[in-house]
Structure 1
């Protein structure tokens, strides 16, 4: 949909064409509202997109759907078709000390996992009556719920690798959102009678064309009614004393201004604050202390498959460069290129880190050396490596992060025609389903 005037107005402007932004636009479209979306990249989907490379398809990390909400399941079926959803029995492991340990730990199939669980039960029995009240750190939360064995085996090194923090520097809120109310005794019960929590769930759904199927279908639905402006760099937001009304941005067509009635932001809340600082100076200082964790993915094309039996494998040991590897042909046969496999090796860092500022060739060589050094592939089997940089991949929930985030959230809430949405927009640890649920929440607020 084209706009003829530089200052043409829309009813709703959405910042970010990721899954949440597209879902909000799709819902608003049916209300007869004029909607526009600004996206800084040349593509839509954000983390919910799938790459095509050398005959392979791959996601931006390993994402899956659980459909705890059956209404959401019906909406996804209507969007992409039930035949496009694959139901998987989850296969995941943690590789530690040269062994694959089932993750979540299982009572059967692995003596090492059974021993680990036995130690965990012993830990939990000894912790009765000696728990930390209202644990604030991830360390205290894990010790409260599982004891030192699980903490040391699965969380201690892995937290340092993924988040760049010790477990006593990470907020317990991350564990509460990621693992929920799970503890050692519940884990045993769930493994015996069936999983209940997301982290221990034994089945999941996956779109046949990759997670990008969702974003592609949403974009196809809105493209004739909603103007999606790609490669649009947001420069500033402005308005009168209380209300926002104007966005200034730079696109391939040049610098443009767009008037709007309501604004939905799904972009990193720190980027939003920078754009708002020209309107209200306090936003500039309010964004300090709100942090994200960045992600490098080395996609390694290998001449044989499978390399792993699992959908994904965690690598908690710091001697190994990557933290998780997904083998995408195990998620769907249509993701594979011929007889080969594509491994997505995830390396977490910050943009100030030496690793982020290394060249693609250096990062590719690091991932290839790690795979070879562990004996998973040979140098001859590696056909090519592609490196993808994903800034703002995860909100960093360090211990005490709320003290930095909450004043910024309150300042945004004070703007009557501004709504925050999605994973980076609200600085929340959302999965794909929660992003879609959040789109519904924002839609209800707007209408």
Structure 2
């Protein structure tokens, strides 16, 4: 973060509120505490603030950790985010597609079957209507069965099964349905029929309208928030936590005594930092699972695709999603060029041959017309998210409330996408930062 100095050892030893992690939740909490003139310290392990809302510049191109977009729905956080960005906030309407059976169709797949080959479309519609007539006696308890009950065999076969197998890298019959909520639109029968035989069903899903910074990539948002946060210490990773004595050992800061603590780092990792943690805490932490995501960012000659992002359910594509940054903001690349991102997921810790993967990705992009040939690629950058999507399963249902309760009893809140160990979006992270600040001030 520009102008922000690294922490000096012994600069801070005591604070009322210690915040671990300067992602959007930590920054938003600190911003609120700053306004209330509370005594706090925000500690971040990296030498920048923003967490995964980070942007990189390379050879004139701007890259993020894939498509980080601002879907706004709550008045307070919407105003805060838009005020923070000011004139840099660019409103956009979603241009998303699915590529399957050699065709681009509108998102969401289940409502927009019209462009598919006739045989595939009929299979999807007939399966959906049959599922609607079935009235199952037992509610599905896993994602695979839920898809079959809700969408039928055709839609499940051609999109939901292959796409989610790629995304989660986890057996769908063991994946619970707790994560879906607004993320998986469930259509009415008339919507499926209209989208199959008449025209696209527009505006479905939570992400049809969004914002993205005109310049600076998504890092423009955390940079703006951090400018209002005075007590931010970078290069200050949490080394260990003594929950009994309310003392955290931080790199470059040493031991810091606190009265209350907010952690926004992955809950699994927080539990591993606890000194002399009870066996139940260690075992519950081991039960929490996640996958990893690699993002290949590419600077290319002009990409002709008009979409913001595209989903790829089929196995021939090594990635599950690809997007075009320059369709969010032309400033993401020099004039006449484009910046792209491609997302691939795998099991946590699994070795990925990035050179081999990049070769396959480029061939896939050429096959859909995103680039003409390999010579169109001018620069590339791989980014890794070691803890990407948390796995929703029966083990999480048991372990999560027990872990959160154990920490809460010791004055430790754990919030944000990874602190609360959930699937969420950027505005929700800001919202949780605000809410946690209010909670900490009332204790």
Q: Taking structure 1 as the reference length, what is the TM-score of the superposition?
A: 0.87
Q: Give 1:149-298 correspondences, 5 Å limit.
A: 149-179=154-184, 182-185=186-189, 187-188=191-192, 195=203, 197-198=205-206, 201-209=207-215, 210-222=217-229, 225-226=230-231, 228-240=232-244, 244-251=245-252, 256-278=254-276, 280-298=278-296
Alpha carbons 2:128, 2:155 under 8 Å: kept: no
CA-CA distance at 1:295 after TM superposition: 0.9
> 2-side partners of 1:190 and 1:259: how far apart?
61
How far is 1:20 from its partner?
0.8
Q: CA deviation at 1:331?
A: 0.6
- 2:331 is the counterpart of 1:334: yes
CA deviations 1:159-193 (Å, max 9, x no partner) are 2211112322221112235226x234375499788
Give the Cα–Cα distance (whole angstroms) in 1 for the partners of residues 95 and 138 of structure 2. Answer: 35
Task: Tell me the secondary structure at the aligned position of residue 167 of structure 2.
Answer: helix
Q: 1:116 to 1:132 in 2, by over 3 A?
A: farther
Instruction: Give the Cα separation in 1 of the matches to 2:8 and 2:39.
Output: 11
Secondary structure, aligned partner of 2:52 = coil
Stretch deviating more after TM superposition (400-409 or 141-150): 400-409
By how many angstroms is 1:3 displaced? 7.1
Which structure 2 segments of 5+ residues have no match? Answer: none
> C-alpha displacement at 1:4, in angstroms?
7.7
How far 1:380 moved relative to its partner? Answer: 1.2
Asked whether the 8 Å contact 2:47–2:234 carries over to 1, the reply is yes
1:301 corresponds in structure 2 to 299
Range with greater deviation from structure 2 (404-413 or 213-222): 404-413
CA offset at residue 433 of structure 1?
Answer: 1.3
Q: Which moved more, 1:13-22 or 1:54-63?
A: 54-63
Q: Deviations over 1:177-229 (max 9, x none)?
A: 5226x23437549978863541xx5322222233222101011111xx21x22
5 Å matches for 1:42-61?
Answer: 42-61=47-66
Root mean square deviation, CA, Å: 2.7
Deviations 1:224-279 (A, max 9, x none): x21x2223232211143xxx52111223xxx6111111100100001100111435
1:390 counterpart residue number: 385
Deviation larger for 1-10 or 379-388: 1-10
| Correspondence for 2:398 | 403
Q: Provide structure 1 residue ranges, at least 5 long, that are not aligned to the other structure.
A: none
The total of aligned residue pairs comes to: 429
Residue pair 1:120, 1:184 contacting (<8 A) in 2 also: no
CA distance in 1, matches of 2:325, 2:221: 17
Shift of 1:13: 0.7
What TM-score do the two structures reach when normalised by structure 2?
0.88
Q: 1:115 to 1:67 in 2, by over 3 A?
A: farther
Q: CA shift at 1:431, angstroms?
A: 0.5
Paired residue for 1:16? 21
Give the direction of change, closer, same or farther, for the CA distance of 1:206–1:131 in structure 2 (3 Å limit): farther
Distance 1:160 1:315 in 2: 11
* Structure 1 residues 112 and 353: CA distance shift in structure 2, 3 A: same
Structure 1 139/399 Cα, relative in aligned 2: closer, same or farther at 3 Å? farther
- The answer on whether the counterparts of 1:95 and 1:313 sit within 8 Å (CA) in structure 2 is yes
After superposition, residues 343-358 of structure 1 pair within 5 angstroms as 343-355=340-352, 358=353
The runs of 4+ residues in structure 1 deviating greater than 4 Å are 1-4, 106-110, 113-121, 186-194
Mark the CA change 1:278 to 1:187 in structure 2 (over 3 Å): closer, same or farther: farther
Alignment partners' CA distance in 2, 1:186 and 1:245? 58
Q: SS of the counterpart of 1:167?
A: coil
Q: For residues 444 and 113 of structure 1, what CA distance do their matches in structure 2 show?
A: 54
Aligned equivalents of 2:304, 2:57: Cα separation in 1? 20
